[in-house]
Amino acid sequence: MYLDEHCGATVRPPVGERWHLPGDARILIRVGDARAWAQVGALPPALLPTLALVGPTSKPLRIMADSAQDVVVVPLGPAEWAQVLPLSAAAVANRISPFDPLRAGALARDLYAAIRPAMPAAEIARHARAVLIRRCDAAAAPGDPLVPRLQAAIDRDEAANAGRIAETLGLSREALGRTALRHFGFSTKSLLMRRRFLRALDRFREAGLTTAAQEGGYRSVPHLLRDAHLFLGMTPRRYVEQAIAG
């Protein structure tokens, strides 16, 4: 059931859906007068305003609309977050909220100014990306220099742990944790777990569950399935089937 957020009336559900894996923040832009919803994990679907911010996620993002062209998704990585948003990523992790200038500052204001009601989805995507690049270039400060280094450490070393990354970056574990929460939305340990699982999920699609667990650094298939429940809320096979069906 889908409820109109303004009057509580039941409305016709959308006919199509798209699934996005857990990951970085995203800006969702609703195209024209289309009605669309988004949902993080098992939380109730949210009726999307023209601009919405989806914080970093540890659960799948599901977008429901009548057409794949009804919602434009603009990725917002930690380095960009550090430059253009005054919010703590942890405060909006796994949440969908209106992307308004009072909370998001100049980036939201510029996006509203750049979007026209009759603009097609592809043009909205180009304009939105250009606005984001301009805002990053115009930022008064280059952002936290630790952010790209932390991102590289998470992506590079499959056997990394929070203590080793803190030592490599010359930080205390407390300082590393603050940087991770502020710009990535989650603890360093959670980010490493998410990265390991997503690598294993990619391998699962090619080689099956046993190979994915072995090559992904899991002690056993049940340990991989435990993380699947944590990050997907379902088995890898069911997620892939739903994503394809959508």
Per-residue pLDDT reduced to its tens digit, 79-116: 999 999 988 999 999 999 999 877 778 899 999 999 88
- CB burial readout 32-64, b (16+ within 10 A) else e: eeebbbbbbeeeebbbbbbbbbbbbbbbbbbbb
**pLDDT score of 35:** 86
Q: What is the DSSP letter of 149?
A: H
**Amino acid symbol at 107:** L
Those residues with Cβ within 8 angstroms of residue 146's Cβ, 6 or more apart along the chain or in another chain: 169, 171, 179
Q: What is the CATH number of domain 146-245?
A: 1.10.10.60
**pLDDT score of 181:** 97
CATH 1.10.10.60 domain extents, the chain = 146-245
Torsion of CA 56, 42, 32, 124, to 10 degrees: 30
**pLDDT score of 32:** 84
List the Cα angle 187/54/184 in 5-degree steps.
Answer: 25
DSSP SS3 for 86 = coil
**pLDDT score of 117:** 75
Tens place of pLDDT for every residue, the chain, 246 residues? 333 333 333 444 455 789 999 999 999 999 988 789 999 999 999 999 999 999 999 999 999 988 767 899 999 999 999 999 988 999 999 999 999 877 778 899 999 999 887 889 999 999 999 999 999 888 766 668 889 999 999 988 655 789 999 998 999 999 999 999 999 999 999 999 999 999 999 999 889 999 999 998 899 999 999 999 999 999 999 998 888 665
**pLDDT score of 11:** 44
| Separation in Å, CA 192 to CA 132, 163, 196, 209, 239 | 27, 12, 6, 20, 21
The whole model's pTM is what?
Answer: 0.89
